Structure 1
Amino acid sequence: MLASLSTMMSHGFKSSKQDFIFGPWKVTAAKNHIMKSKDIERLAEEMNMPSLPEMLFGDNILRIQHMDGYGIEFNAIDALKRVNNMEDAVKVACAQEWQESRADSEHSKEVVRPYDWTYTTDYRGTLIGEVVQVTETAERIDMEKLKAREQIMFFDDVLLFEDELHDHGVSMISVKIRVMPTSFFLLLRFFLRVDGVLIRINDTRLYYEAGKNYMLREFSTREKKIAELKNVPAALYTDPNEIAQHLTLKLMVCEKLELPMTEPQTAADNCLQ
């Protein structure tokens, strides 16, 4: 059931805010304009970073909130706060290769500053309220169950930021959610392609089944150097869904987000008309 849907037109851009009620939960997806340059500059100063992504949607948000106030949300500012300002060997190597390829560029000096110019983030969402407890778990999201044909009651895809790395690739993060009659599934994906250097994908998957007092959250990092992808068609490099299966899994963290309640609702109660 869509509780509300409001849209407005401004300078040819369509801003939108959708709320969807799922039992005791409200899913909110808001999309707005790219942040203005002066606001981006001020934010970069606050974060002590030389620059921020050229397309930064500071007001875009996807939030899942219980009627009691707690929940989880996904936004661009908190994602950028997880960008590592301490260079490591991989980033330095990539930056050097990238810098050499842009030796004549006015931007070439930027990459030697002590920040991650690829905006790689391990952001997994922002918890709302202090009652949600996070613990590691061996339980996994049943991806086969998610492949079953089930009615999609609500879907949205929200872009948080994107940068073309001065025409030498792309760095972007977006979050999408789909709500079925008795569950919801969310994917937050950070996708990085530095042309001629590497491809990296950081995924956060979140799954919740009505009636349970926890959500499952899985975070993974996959990457590979372009030189190791020679047998993969270059056309796949720009498609995160296709290239993901060719990357090497570097990290997997499985967690339970334990909620302070056990819902009395039945599946029928959650299948709102």
Structure 2
Amino acid sequence: MLLVFLGRLAEELHMPSLPEMMFGDNVLRIQHDHGFGIEFNATDALKCVNNCQGMIKVACAEEWQESRSETEHSKEVVKPYDWTYTTDYKGTLLGDTATLKVVPTTEHINTEKLKAREQIMFFEEVLLFEDELHDHGVSSLSVKVRVMPSSFFVLLRFFLRVDGVLIRMNDTRLHHEADKTYMLREYTSRESKISSLKNVPPSLFTEPNEISQYLPIKETICEKLEFPEKLEPRPETSLETTCAKSK
């Protein structure tokens, strides 16, 4: 049954195979008691993979795809195919009658406030998928959440390292302060060829937090996720995380 489910999902996503470690049941969900909110899950993230452009042409790509096309649940190889699973996923909005309104903004997340010492009431890291790219690097997507008395902060990170070729990092940051009726969402895409990182210690290539400062910014999107109007009582949010074993 599991192989059938994975096969159907791969077919739906137009992929010959899914990441080696696909945590399909893992979810981080932030939801208001009126039903609106945002969640982060692996399936919706993979739906954002662009199989038509931005593919990485390296010697190992064809070999890797051929090895994956022989898996039991893959009956047909769909081309073109982004074998790195690069995604610009920023979360899935929730709600039927009421939803968050996405509005472009010039306002940025106040990182200085986040640096202030404050009690951490809850912290969790949820892995959504990971793949070692046939031993040629790593492609992973994970989401972290930190809840303090005055706010909460979420970091969704897609990290890609293709050995000898490039490093790419797509970060989505989400911040909500308790006295605000909106959340700030910042998406930043960074990328660099390995050949442009000659002065960077190779040991940092496997450390996303360290290597990020050396990766040029390719794209930045700042948005407000505004709460629906006329909500009573005072806006409150609930937070739920679900973790499961790899599928």
1:36: how far off? Answer: 4.1
Find 2:94's aligned residue among 101, 115, 128. 128
SS at match of 2:158: strand
> Structure 1: 5+ residue runs without aligned partners?
1-34
Residue 241 (str. 1) matches residue 209 (str. 2): yes
Alpha-carbon distance between aligned partners in 2 of 1:226 and 1:216, rounded to the nearest angstrom:
32
Q: Is the contact between residue 95 and residue 112 of structure 1 (CA under 8 Å) also seen in structure 2?
A: no
Are residues 45 and 106 of structure 1, via their aligned partners in 2, closer, same or farther at CA, if it must alter by over 3 Å? closer
Per the alignment, residue 178 of structure 1 pairs with 146
- The match for 1:142 is 110
Provide the secondary structure at the position in 1 that maps to 2:139: strand
Structure 1 residues 56 and 145: alpha-carbon distance in aligned structure 2, compared to 1, 3 A threshold: same
Report the counterpart of residue 171 of structure 2 in structure 1: 203
Q: Could you say which residue in structure 2 is the equivalent of 1:230?
A: 198
Q: 1:72 aligns with which of 31, 34, 38?
A: 38
* Separation in 1, partners of 2:232, 2:181: 7
Of 130, 147, 169, the residue aligned with 1:162 is 130
CA–CA distance in structure 1, aligned partners of residues 152 and 68 of structure 2: 44
2:216 and 2:60 map into 1 onto residues whose CA distance is 22
C-alpha displacement at 1:112, in angstroms? 9.2
Amino acid at match of 2:67: H
Instruction: Determine if contact 1:76/1:161 at 8 Å carries over to the other structure.
Output: yes
Q: Which residue of 1 aligns with 2:185?
A: 217
* Alignment-derived partner of residue 97 in structure 1: 59
Residues 6-59 of structure 1 show CA distances to partners (whole Å, capped at 9, x for unaligned) of xxxxxxxxxxxxxxxxxxxxxxxxxxxxx9444222210122211110100111
**Structure with more of its chain in strand, by fraction:** 1
Summarize the Cα distance change of 1:214–1:155 in structure 2 as closer, same or farther, 3 Å threshold. Answer: same
Other-structure match for 1:45: 11
Name stretches of at least 5 consecutive residues in structure 2 with no aligned partner: 71-76, 239-247
Query: Match of 1:61, as an amino acid?
Result: V
1:263 CA displacement: 7.4
SS in 2 for 1:193: strand
1:254 deviation in Å? 0.2
More RCO (CA 8 Å, sep 6+): 2
Tell me the equivalent position of 1:24.
none
- CA-to-aligned-CA distance 1:46-99 (integer Å, 9 cap, x gap): 2221111010011100000000110000000000000001033xx2xx333334
In 2, the alpha carbon distance for the partners of 1:233 and 1:109 equals: 36
Q: Distance in 2 between matches of 1:54 and 1:37?
A: 13
Q: How far 1:170 sits from its partner (Å)?
A: 0.4
CA gap of 1:108–1:64, structure 2 versus 1, over 3 A, is closer
Alignment RMSD (CA, Å): 2.6
Residue identity opposite 1:107 in structure 2: S
Checking the alignment, whether the CA contact within 8 Å between 1:222 and 1:244 is kept in structure 2 is: yes
- Give the SS at the match of 2:183: strand
Cα distance in 2, alignment partners of residues 154 and 143 from structure 1? 19
SS at match of 1:227: helix
